[in-house]
Structure 1
Amino acid sequence: MPTTRSTSADDESAALVARRARDLRSDRVGLLRASGIVATGYAVGAALQTTYIYSRVVEDWQSVSVWSRLGANFAAVVGLVAVLAVVNAHRATRIWHMAVSLLFAATACAVLRIGAQQLLGVYEDPTREVVEAELFSGLVIGVISGAIGMWGLVARRRLRAQIRGAEREAVLVENAVRALEQEEIRVRREVAEGLHGTLQNKLVLVEARLDQIAAHAEQGPLDPGDLDDLHWIRGELEQARAADVREMSRLLYPDRLELGLVPAVRALLGRLPASIATRLDVTDAVRAYDDPAHPRLTVPERLLAVRVVEEGVTNSLKHGPATSITASVDVQDGVLVVAVENDGALYDEGTAGVASGTARMRQRLTFVGGSVALEPGAGRGARLVARIPLGTGGHKASPVRP
């Protein structure tokens, strides 16, 4: 089992790394493509506009080469895209990081544009004012083009996060539905086993005693032994009604759950033998959430919390013997924290959490975004701690209900 879990964790880690690499490649291509397309548009427009203006004001307008200007501007576009790629601008996640990368690439774009103009003979002997104007215009073009590319990068990331969030929500819904089906099957099985086992056996014995009494009645008056049998039958039926039927009904719906979480947990602890000391610690935050006049805990949230206490009590009785059980309920930052601690057998890390009930509870809490942990108690015993998110809405606010 540990090997299987390790392999699964390695596979998940490898999948995350691969997805991260694909995201980075997609961001890189998107940023460079958007910046390059916008910068190219500016480059073509600026070259054509400048050529036209010079042709109108310069007598020897044939000396103004549109191709040289286009070549210089395209060199600036290539420089902008190359610098954005070299500085890994697509990895930037903070505003200052994006701004620094963008300013560096735009500066390189402007400088490269001036150098290409000199190399291609756009200006024979430019004045200082011309150089400053060309540098400024190149810087502006680079900043605008890169900013549009960065905006597209941020939009792409947000859209990707929304899509994956929706995918995760869909998976959680699917898992919750599957867990609901499994929980329903489990409860049905336990009820069926209870009906087929204990209750049916008692009814069979009761039927046999009634047949015996009926046979005696046919032969003559009932004797004191038959009266004892009738009293025994009445006791068995009373026990079946009070214990077996009620216990099976609790599998479907805990006592006093409709009154609130605290009454339901008190009713659960009240069923324990008198030899086991029980205590329930409830904070004011829980009382505010569980106020009967204005309840903020949903019935599914109460039910899941009660199931956690049931699991903690079951572990205490099964792996004890425990002489005291303490249940505590608190609300911390919108999370319901339920803990059950006992003073039974010493905590064994090797077997902790192996029980099917605890594993099943961990699965249910994972489906609703919660968690459960089994840890050592104070000195002896064990402590089961569960965290249940509150008010998350949708399927997360509706954990599995048998």
Structure 2
Amino acid sequence: MASSSTGSAAVVAQARRDSRQDQITLLRGSAIIALGYGVGAALQSTYVYANLVPEWESVSLGSRLAANGTAVVVLITVLAAVQAHRAHRWWLKILAVLGAAAAAGIARYLAQLVFGVYDEPTASTRDAEVLSGFLLGMISAGIGMWALATRQTARIRTRAATREAVHVELAVKALEQEEIRVRRAVAEGLHGTLQSKLILVDARLGEVLGHADGMDPADAQSLTWVRAELDEAREIDVRQMSRLLYPDRLELGLVPALRALLGRLPASIATRLSVSDAVRSFDDPTCSRLTVSERLLAVRVVEEAVSNALKHGPATSIAVSLDVAQDVLHVSVRNDGELYVPAAAGLPSGTARLDTRLSLVGGRLSLTPGPEKGAHLEAWLPLGAGLA
């Protein structure tokens, strides 16, 4: 109930902010246009009358500006009073504009009388001034309404795009969660159920071979070969597949998982893992701020770099470094194998798939040649983009 009340309050507060911004847009746009028209009209009429009607030279520019300014104030006041920015139907908007413009036109004419622009105006003069004030107000308020409609349309589109982005992000997170769940389940199945059955089969074959005195030597040799192949499949293939699906020690943290990964490399390859204090803080086992999906993706980057180093060149050393800056995890892997030449080698398919995967969570990947030999694989992973 508390979260529901908080959500409703946030919606109401946002609606109030939107309404306030709409009102400011309408009134500000209308006022700017109206003032522009008013100043221009005052300057033009003063110049024309001063040159064509000499007896009107006594009417100051200030009086005309004051009359037109009064019309602008009345226009904005009426628009604010009738809450024109809240009108949703087109005919209500038109009525608000026409009403405000009519009030502005009448106010302009009355202000002209008050400020001494006219002493005894004729009916035609009165009608002309009221009509010109009305047109000034209608054009100004109409442009203000157009600015308001443009703002509202832009806001709707922006929020729709934001909602769509949030839906996509939630979908990606859901897929990540499901992928991790499936990976973990399959890895546990391979490591547990399948491996246990293979152990039982191996034990059974051992019993059969233990009583193979009367067995044909060729059959005994075949059984021995089958037992060796099953043992190799259990020790290498099944465990390897399990680790590929869900790396060892991933639940303990990113650093333990990478140490386990590098520890399985041949002894002929020197490995170095450099971890910044920022990463250790994020990957603290007692309160890790790295989600399982983030750890898995970072391990995949190192796995891809190690795989490339083993496949494309006799690397003798692999250096892995981890750092965090502005909530972005930076993974760097260097090897001293055969020099990577992008023009000739292109981008490995596994690296391309990994780049696509990183881009889904706002990250990126870079594969460049080493300074003299080998290759340098870097990845930038925004933290907080996935869920455990």
Give me the TM-score of the superposition, normalised by structure 1: 0.57
What is the aligned counterpart of 2:161 among 157, 160, 164? 164
Equivalent-residue separation in structure 2 for 1:171 and 1:186 (angstroms): 22
Who is 1:43 aligned against?
101
Offset of residue 276 of structure 1: 0.7
Equivalent-residue separation in structure 2 for 1:202 and 1:251 (angstroms): 21
Equivalent-residue separation in structure 2 for 1:344 and 1:268 (angstroms): 19
8 Å CA contact 1:347, 1:381 repeated in 2: yes
- Is 2:352 aligned against 1:294? no
Q: CA separation of 1:343/1:59 partners in 2, compared to 1, >3 Å: closer, same or farther?
A: closer
Who is 1:276 aligned against?
269
Who is 2:54 aligned against?
none
What is the aligned counterpart of 1:246 among 233, 239, 242? 239
Equivalent-residue separation in structure 2 for 1:164 and 1:257 (angstroms): 35
8 Å CA contact 2:317, 2:336 repeated in 1: yes
Offset of residue 340 of structure 1: 1.2
8 Å CA contact 1:55, 1:62 repeated in 2: no
- 1:351-401 Cα deviation digits (max 9, x unpaired): 55532211111111111111111111132111111111112xxxx3149xx
8 Å CA contact 1:330, 1:337 repeated in 2: yes
Who is 2:43 aligned against?
none
- Is 2:296 aligned against 1:303? yes
The alignment partner of 1:76 has SS state of: helix
- After TM superposition, the structure 1 = structure 2 runs for residues 4-83 of structure 1, keeping only pairs within 5 Å, are 40-49=98-107, 63=123, 67-77=127-137
- After TM superposition, the structure 1 = structure 2 runs for residues 2-401 of structure 1, keeping only pairs within 5 Å, are 40-49=98-107, 63=123, 67-77=127-137, 150=147, 153-174=150-171, 216-217=213-214, 238-351=231-344, 354-391=347-384, 396-398=385-387
8 Å CA contact 1:330, 1:338 repeated in 2: yes
- 1:69-117 Cα deviation digits (max 9, x unpaired): 3431254357x6xxxxxxxxxxxxxxxxxxxxxxxxxxxxxxxxxxxxx
Aligned AA for 2:290? L
Aligned AA for 2:292? V
The alignment partner of 2:136 has SS state of: helix
Who is 2:48 aligned against?
none
8 Å CA contact 1:341, 1:381 repeated in 2: yes
Gaps of 5+ in 2: 1-24, 34-83, 86-92, 191-196
Offset of residue 155 of structure 1: 4.7
Task: Name the count of aligned residue pairs.
Answer: 296
Greater displacement, 45-54 / 278-287:
45-54
Equivalent-residue separation in structure 2 for 1:300 and 1:175 (angstroms): 11
8 Å CA contact 2:275, 2:321 repeated in 1: yes
Offset of residue 242 of structure 1: 3.0
Aligned AA for 1:291? D
Equivalent-residue separation in structure 2 for 1:202 and 1:169 (angstroms): 48
Aligned AA for 1:250? R
Offset of residue 243 of structure 1: 2.2
The alignment partner of 1:257 has SS state of: coil
RMSD: 5.0
Give me the TM-score of the superposition, normalised by structure 2: 0.59
Offset of residue 48 of structure 1: 3.7
Equivalent-residue separation in structure 2 for 1:181 and 1:248 (angstroms): 19
Who is 1:135 aligned against?
none
Percent identity of the aligned residues?
Answer: 43
Equivalent-residue separation in structure 1 for 2:101 and 2:370 (angstroms): 72
Equivalent-residue separation in structure 2 for 1:50 and 1:282 (angstroms): 75
8 Å CA contact 2:176, 2:386 repeated in 1: no
